[in-house]
């Protein structure tokens, strides 16, 4: 990171009206997170039953592992030809 980038990093919160200690308080807040708190927030924000997973790879190598995850129906989509 060069001097200009560092200056921008510290000036941006001030230009947006954030407190002078924005980065220090943000760092403390992130360090205070626990796996439990992260899990609680994720449970409120995400509905796993509504997610769609797109997995790309060599089907011969990954299909069995993907099916073992029991994430729902597995649908094979046609791929471009090589």
As given in the structure block, the two tokens for residue 46 are 């995400």
Nearest to 46 by CA among 55, 38, 58, 54: 38
Q: What is the mean pLDDT of each run of 10 residues along the chain (82 residues)?
A: 88 89 93 96 87 88 92 84 61
Sequence-ordered list of residues with C-beta below 8 angstroms from that of 22, at least 6 positions apart, any chain: 13
Q: What is the pLDDT of residue 81?
A: 62
Q: What pLDDT is recorded for position 26?
A: 93
Where do the structural domains in the chain lie, given as residue ranges? 3-68
pLDDT at 65: 94
Quick one: pLDDT at residue 47? 86
- Predicted TM-score of the model (pTM): 0.46
CA gyration radius for the chain? 22
């Amino acid at each position: 990171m060069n001097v200009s980038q560092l200056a921008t990093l510290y000036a941006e919160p001030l230009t947006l009206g954030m407190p002078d200690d924005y980065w220090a308080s943000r760092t403390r807040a992130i360090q205070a997170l626990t796996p439990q708190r992260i899990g609680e927030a994720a449970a409120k924000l995400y509905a796993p039953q509504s997610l769609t997973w797109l997995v790309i790879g060599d089907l011969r190598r990954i299909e069995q592992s993907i099916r073992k995850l029991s994430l729902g129906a597995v649908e094979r989509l046609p791929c471009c030809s090589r």
